[in-house]
């Protein structure tokens, strides 16, 4: 399980870095009145939180990691992997749309 734990930590670290850059870009877009959406993900996503920046989603994922580290629950692990996949997909799309 330590290999899985390390992979999760590595992926969340990458997502955190990408999300900080994406949130900075979103702030710039909002300053120019170009980002008017209410939520990054739709209500049918794997996330409980609803936010117009990436940081709350990363926080939820980090909370899930702590919960999984304590329980080693397969259900929590599967949910985390889905969230990681969704974040990587959306952050990748965002980066390709708004990169310099």
For residue range 19-29, what is the model confidence (pLDDT) as tens digits?
999 999 999 99
Domain parsing of the chain, residue ranges: 2-98
For residue range 61-76, what is the model confidence (pLDDT) as tens digits?
999 999 999 999 999 9
User: Residue range 46-55: average pLDDT?
Assistant: 96
Provide the pLDDT for residue 36. 81
- Sign of torsion, CA 73 41 52 25? positive
Q: Tokens for 4, please give them.
A: 């899985």
Whole-model pTM: value is 0.92
Q: From residue 4, how far is each of 33, 47, 55, 74, 81 by CA, in Å?
A: 41, 21, 23, 12, 11
Task: Confirm if 80 and 64 have CB atoms less than 8 A apart.
Answer: yes
Q: Is 84 helix (H, G, I), strand (E, B) or coil?
A: helix
């Amino acid at each position: 399980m330590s290999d899985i734990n390390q992979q999760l930590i590595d992926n969340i670290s990458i997502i955190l870095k990408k999300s900080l850059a994406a949130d900075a870009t979103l702030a710039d877009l909002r300053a120019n009145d170009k980002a008017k959406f209410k939520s990054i993900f739709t209500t049918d996503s794997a996330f409980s939180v609803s936010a117009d920046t990436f940081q709350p989603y990363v926080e939820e994922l980090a909370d899930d990691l702590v919960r999984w580290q304590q329980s080693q629950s397969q259900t929590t692990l599967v949910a985390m992997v889905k969230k990681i996949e969704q974040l990587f997909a959306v952050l990748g799309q965002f980066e390709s749309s708004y990169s310099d």
